[in-house]
């Protein structure tokens, strides 16, 4: 059976890091803590790579209209 996008997000919720690509070319990696139907996201242990160095952000809320894609993260 084909999985719906929300079912896939439920599988990684609170389990493994995800990579979130945002408008403007930014990419944030963190553990998905929650989301809603508008794709607003809550990430814990969020970090962004700047100049090749990971920068810790902590807990982050991302507004859904900035999200391009969400992918399971490879560490």
Is pTM beyond 0.75? Reply is yes
* Domains (range + CATH), the chain: 5-72 (2.30.30.100)
Q: What is the SS3 assignment for 8?
A: helix
Q: Is the dihedral of CA 46, 60, 35, 52 positive or negative?
A: negative
pLDDT in tens, 38-68: 999 999 999 998 888 999 999 999 999 999 9
SS3 content of the chain, % helix, strand, coil (to 5): 15, 55, 30
Q: 25: which 2 tokens? A: 């070319």
* Average pLDDT, rounded, for the chain: 90
Cβ count near 44 (within 10 Å): 15
Query: Rounded CA gap, 46 and 20, in Å?
Result: 10
């Amino acid at each position: 059976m084909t999985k719906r996008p929300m079912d896939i997000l439920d599988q990684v919720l609170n389990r493994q890091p995800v990579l979130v690509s945002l408008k403007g070319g930014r990419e944030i990696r963190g553990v998905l803590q929650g989301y809603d139907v508008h794709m607003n996201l809550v990430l814990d242990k969020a970090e962004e790579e700047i100049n090749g160095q990971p920068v810790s952000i902590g807990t982050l809320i991302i507004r859904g209209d900035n999200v391009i894609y969400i992918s399971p993260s490879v560490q």
